[in-house]
A and B are shown apart, each in its own frame.
Chain A
Amino acid sequence: MKGKDKTTEEKSLLFKPLDPILHSELRLAVMSILIGVEEADFVYLKGQTGATSGNLSVQLDKLSSAGYVEIEKSFRGKKPCTLCRMTEKGRNAFAQYVETLKQYIQK
């Protein structure tokens, strides 16, 4: 595993660095879900990623601060509902991230 990490580090010197906002397990999982849907609520994201509410909130805030995700707090009936959707900036960043990943894997 360490060998693999070292290879990744070495590659990062040769290629464009991977976006640090996306290069995190939970944030990447959230973005992978949001890329394919119009919007997803907090409960669905929590269920799909298996993350705790606290951790997911923190990571969503980071994505939101980077402008990759829009968060809308509303109500579904009487229950509060947090809706997340990917922004155009987030979509471009995700596409760029995948492109860079491909370069890392191919070389």
Chain B
Amino acid sequence: MENTEKKENISTEQSLKIIAETMERSRMTIAKNSGKPLILWGFLVAVTALVIHLLWTNTNNPAWNLLWFAMAAIGFAATFIISKNREHAPLNEMGRILGKIWMWFGIITTGFYLLIWIAYFIIKYCNYNTDSVIHVNLTLIIVIAMGLCGIISGVVMKMRSIVACCATATFLSALVALLMPGQVLVFVILGIVGLLVPGLILQKKARG
């Protein structure tokens, strides 16, 4: 694009090509920037699930579940470091939508988790009548919410492979959550198939 005069006269086909290529490049920059955080969170979720499973079964203490909060703290800190070192790109509509989707996933699941603890303390210390208490499968709720967020992210990025990975991870882990006690396998499936693999796909695509 160095010779300005020469490039002034372009055909309509060239114009469309420029618009399409520029928009695609911008879309890929965002997709590229999303790859590393997905790999990180996928790894963290799978490893944390395994660690909690080992500690819980060995000590018989469900309080090890609080390690999920430690995982979230490590994840946010590492995501911040990754974002500092990544290729500079302005925030576009797709990036903003993806950010909002995962921010709300974090808020809803953390809020729901806290609500469960609040309900637990009310039942335990306030002599609450447990006849009206509904038992919910928290793991299943998180699985469905996380899977949906992943699928929506894939749709927004127009990447069918990510939609397929997240849909597979959601169905598989939801089935495991319904049939098997515990949560280790559920989150290992979600972490690897729903986050880590899509992250690797994005990284590979970004490298061309």
Contact A40 B15 (CB under 8 A): no
Give chain B residues whose Cβ lies under 8 Å from the Cβ of A5.
Answer: 9, 11
Task: Name the distance in Å between A92's Cβ and chain B's nearest Cβ.
Answer: 16
| B 74-101 contacts with A by CB, 8 A | 88-94
| A 51-107 contacts with B by CB, 8 A | 51-52, 55, 58-59, 97-98, 101, 104-105
Interface size on B, residues (CB 8 A): 27
Interface residues of B, dominant DSSP? helix
Contact A37 B92 (CB under 8 A): yes
Give chain A residues whose Cβ lies under 8 Å from the Cβ of B13.
Answer: 4, 105
Interface residues of A, dominant DSSP? helix
* Any A CB within 8 A of the CB of B66: no
Q: Which residue of A lies closest to B9 (CB)?
A: A5
Give chain B residues whose Cβ lies under 8 Å from the Cβ of A1.
Answer: 11
Q: How many residues of A sit at the interface, in one of the four size bands? A: 35 or more
Q: Which residue of B lies closest to A11 (CB)?
A: B12
Contact B12 A51 (CB under 8 A): no
Contact A32 B19 (CB under 8 A): yes
Give chain A residues whose Cβ lies under 8 Å from the Cβ of B88.
Answer: 43-44
Q: Which residue of B lies closest to A24 (CB)?
A: B8
Give chain B residues whose Cβ lies under 8 Å from the Cβ of A36.
Answer: 23, 26, 92-94
Contact A8 B90 (CB under 8 A): no
Question: In the complex, what distance in Å separates the CA atom of A38 from the CA atom of B14?
Answer: 26
Task: Name the distance in Å between A17's Cβ and chain B's nearest Cβ.
Answer: 12
Binding site for B on A (CB under 8 A): 1, 4-5, 8, 11, 18, 23-26, 28-29, 32-33, 35-41, 43-44, 48-52, 55, 58-59, 97-98, 101, 104-105
Binding site for A on B (CB under 8 A): 1-2, 4, 7-16, 18-19, 22-23, 25-26, 29, 88-94
10 A-B pairs with least C-beta separation: A32-B22, A25-B7, A37-B90, A104-B12, A40-B90, A36-B92, A51-B1, A37-B92, A26-B1, A32-B19
